Amino acid sequence: MALLQISEPGQSLDPHQRRVAVGIDLGTTHSLVAAVRHGISECLPAADGRVILPSVVRYLDPAQGGSGRQIGFDALAAQVQDPANTVSSVKRLMGRSRAQVADVDKLSYTVVEQDGMAVVETVAGRKTPMEVSAEILATLRFRAEDSFDDELYGAVITVPAYFDDAQRQATKDAAQLAGINVLRLINEPTAAAIAYGLDNGSEGVYAIYDLGGGTFDISILRLTKGVFEVMATGGDSALGGDDYDQALAAWVLAQAGVSAMPNASERAALHAEARRVKEALSSSASAAFRANVSGHAIEHTVTSADFETCTAALTARTMTAVRKVLRDAGITKDEVKGVVMVGGSTRMPVVRRTVGEFFGQEPLTNLNPDEVVALGAAIQANALAGNSRDGDLLLLDVIPLSLGIETMGGLVERIVPRNSAIPTALAQDFTTYQDGQTALALHVVQGERDLVADCRSLARFELRGIPPMVAGAARIRVTFTVDADGLLSVSAKEQGSGVEARVDVKPAYGLSDEQIAAMLQDSFATAEQDIRARALVEARVDADRMITATRTALAADADLLAPAEREQIDGLMTALAATAAGDDAQAIEAATAELAKATEPFAALRMNRGIQQALSGKKLEEV
């Protein structure tokens, strides 16, 4: 007789068998993999003992006997001598077209457009950002499997909080190419909150200031008894330590009077030297910058004050995002209990000082800023794999932009508001606009504006097979489901007949962070204008619906009206059509109300006729 095998909720069937699950921080400049071992989250080292893996891949020339590629420190060492085939900061290309990559012409390698996506030209052929990222992810996967001498069950991979659907999907595609089962994508600031919240038993409102090599995130979280609720999030994934390096290099060239454009190899060398000087200035008051550009030997002493001056605009950009996120969360800086510093770029003294002065308190830096994101992701992975008995961990992430559908007149009906906690499923009922309508076209959009033309189109699909009914009789429920990774599916179901259609939204790669920021800024700057525009469209839609309904009624029962009554209604319809062509919403609403009032007696007469026809020829007892 076989025994029924049972387990505790969330636990593996065999309590002695542990699934290998890891957290991966796929960073712009470097990446890490971490796991929970002996109850402690720790980063896994490579054979040489280093836990950091530079996010750099070099492709070798097959024609010269080269096979494959170099990854990590080996590729980083070759960046100056072979910049065209050494791909770094590929995270900035994820989910974008070439036109939407910031400073694309300043990269040491060539980026071209292919199928609406930015791809890299190398001696080994064109490589998509997903393929390059997959090389990095696979290296981390092999490191984890070597550490545990077992196959990897799955991974939690972190992404910037401001990554949109396209960028998140690109990350999942890269993991799939690397042979990794993605347990969940979580936002980098959320991962940091998990690490700090569990390690320090912190509660209250916290700001997560995450400045990495290529991305900046700022999130406001409320931590309460193991619940991590993201109140608001923002940032700029085209801003990071790389930009500080470029600003410093440009400043040194200007000080040295060098106007010649550096070639690719020189740009790579300048970037590397700028990074070295930047890191040196974190512990010294000055450092010497040495480089060669177009035959000019450059040697310039850079002080901390110089560095702060030439990068002041970048630091100010991060603080602008901080202020905006505080407004979105509906709190003041005085309500923030602590500020968690995440990302290697937060080691810069000017950044720590600026953040500390703004919040009026010393930022939290007791966990390694390079490792904290991976450590938090590992804790979440351990729980999702069923290894952890800590059932108190609840993770509430948010979506960065509102989701909705297009309604009549090109208006947006928002179904999932921005900063809604995910995963979530929200629904709303709609109806048909015309009599006998048997199909409905649904247009899914993302953004904060009231008009579809001002938002981003995500997907279109159709619901067919709706039984013919009079306008407004059908009840169509549209459901938006956002999963834990922030990915969207939309379904539409006619409640009476049960016909249903759905679409999984896999957006085309290409929405830039500048566009996201602009969409949010526009929503505030044009709020009053949007209210007026929406009111005008709604008034016109109501007017059109009133005219259509009146014409339908006249076509069926005009004989019920006296000539004077018919003339009055025709005149009001003509006047309403003329008024609806204008831009005065109140005038249109008034004309619509006037026609509605004038047709009330006609509607009563039609109702009486309908009742008489229904009762004609029937006995009282039958009724």
**98-123: average pLDDT:** 87
Kindly indicate the confidence band of residue 412, based on its pLDDT and cuts at 50, 70 and 90.
Answer: confident
Helices (H) and strands (E) in the chain, counts: 15, 28
**456-477: average pLDDT:** 81
Residues 6+ apart with CB under 8 A from 528: none
Is the pLDDT assigned to residue 441 strictly greater than 70? yes
Residue 525 has a pLDDT of 53
**259-270: average pLDDT:** 81
Percent of the chain with pLDDT over 70: 86
pTM of the predicted model as reported, rounded to 2 decimal places: 0.61
Residue 537 has a pLDDT of 75
The active-site residue, picked from 131, 210, 242, 485, is: 210
188 annotated active-site: yes
Kindly indicate the confidence band of residue 105, based on its pLDDT and cuts at 50, 70 and 90.
Answer: confident
* Rounded Cα distance, 406 and 541, in Å: 13
Residue 325 has a pLDDT of 93
**490-498: average pLDDT:** 84
Q: Please give the single-letter amino acid code of residue 134.
A: A
* Rounded Cα distance, 272 and 109, in Å: 15
Is the pLDDT assigned to residue 302 strictly greater than 60? yes
Is the pLDDT assigned to residue 361 strictly greater than 60? yes
Please give the radius of gyration of the chain, using alpha carbons only, rounded to the nearest integer.
30
* Rounded Cα distance, 564 and 556, in Å: 18
Which strand (E) or helix (H) includes residue 326?
helix 312-329
Per-residue pLDDT tens digits for 27-57: 988 999 999 988 889 999 998 999 999 999 9
Is the pLDDT assigned to residue 7 strictly greater than 50? no
Lowest-confidence region among 92-106, 335-349, 427-441: 427-441
Kindly indicate the confidence band of residue 529, based on its pLDDT and cuts at 50, 70 and 90.
Answer: low
* Rounded Cα distance, 523 and 450, in Å: 9
Kindly indicate the confidence band of residue 391, based on its pLDDT and cuts at 50, 70 and 90.
Answer: very low
Residue 174 has a pLDDT of 92
Residue 316 has a pLDDT of 95
Kindly indicate the confidence band of residue 9, based on its pLDDT and cuts at 50, 70 and 90.
Answer: very low
**424-436: average pLDDT:** 80
Kindly indicate the confidence band of residue 87, based on its pLDDT and cuts at 50, 70 and 90.
Answer: very high
Residue 80 has a pLDDT of 83
Sheet strands (E) in 375-475: 394-398, 403-407, 411-416, 421-422, 424-430, 439-446, 456-464
Is the pLDDT assigned to residue 1 strictly greater than 80? no
273 annotated active-site: no
Is the pLDDT assigned to residue 619 strictly greater than 60? no
Kindly indicate the confidence band of residue 617, based on its pLDDT and cuts at 50, 70 and 90.
Answer: low
Residue 40 has a pLDDT of 87
Residue scoring higher pLDDT (533 or 530): 533
**556-585: average pLDDT:** 85
Matching residue, tokens 């971490």:
34
Residue 447 has a pLDDT of 78
Contact indicator for 338, 202 with CB cutoff of 8 Å? yes
* Rounded Cα distance, 448 and 357, in Å: 32
Residue 528 has a pLDDT of 60
* Rounded Cα distance, 10 and 383, in Å: 8
Instruction: Sheet containing 86-88: give its strands across.
Output: 69-71, 56-59, 86-88
Q: What is the mean pLDDT of the chain?
A: 82
Is the pLDDT assigned to residue 392 strictly greater than 50? no
Task: Give, in degrees to the nearest 5, the angle at Cα 111 between 277 and 26.
Answer: 60
Residue scoring higher pLDDT (160 or 620): 160
Matching residue, tokens 């810069």:
348
Q: Which residues pair with 235 in a beta bridge?
A: 217
Per-residue pLDDT tens digits for 171-205: 998 998 999 999 999 888 888 888 876 445 567 88
Is the pLDDT assigned to residue 567 strictly greater than 60? yes
Is the pLDDT assigned to residue 608 strictly greater than 70? yes
* Rounded Cα distance, 100 and 235, in Å: 17
Residue 5 has a pLDDT of 36
**406-413: average pLDDT:** 79
The active-site residue, picked from 25, 370, 450, 530, is: 25
Is the pLDDT assigned to residue 621 strictly greater than 70? no
Report the DSSP pairing between strands 227-236 and 394-398: parallel
150 annotated active-site: no
334 annotated active-site: no
Lowest-confidence region among 58-62, 259-263, 578-582: 259-263
**349-365: average pLDDT:** 94
* Rounded Cα distance, 591 and 108, in Å: 64
* Rounded Cα distance, 547 and 206, in Å: 55
**255-276: average pLDDT:** 85
The active-site residue, picked from 164, 173, 188, 217, is: 188
Tokens, residue 200: 């320090």
Contact indicator for 231, 419 with CB cutoff of 8 Å? yes
Residue 521 has a pLDDT of 55
**280-290: average pLDDT:** 92
In order of 138, 243, 523, 606, the CA distances from 25 in angstroms are 13, 20, 32, 69
Is the pLDDT assigned to residue 615 strictly greater than 90? no
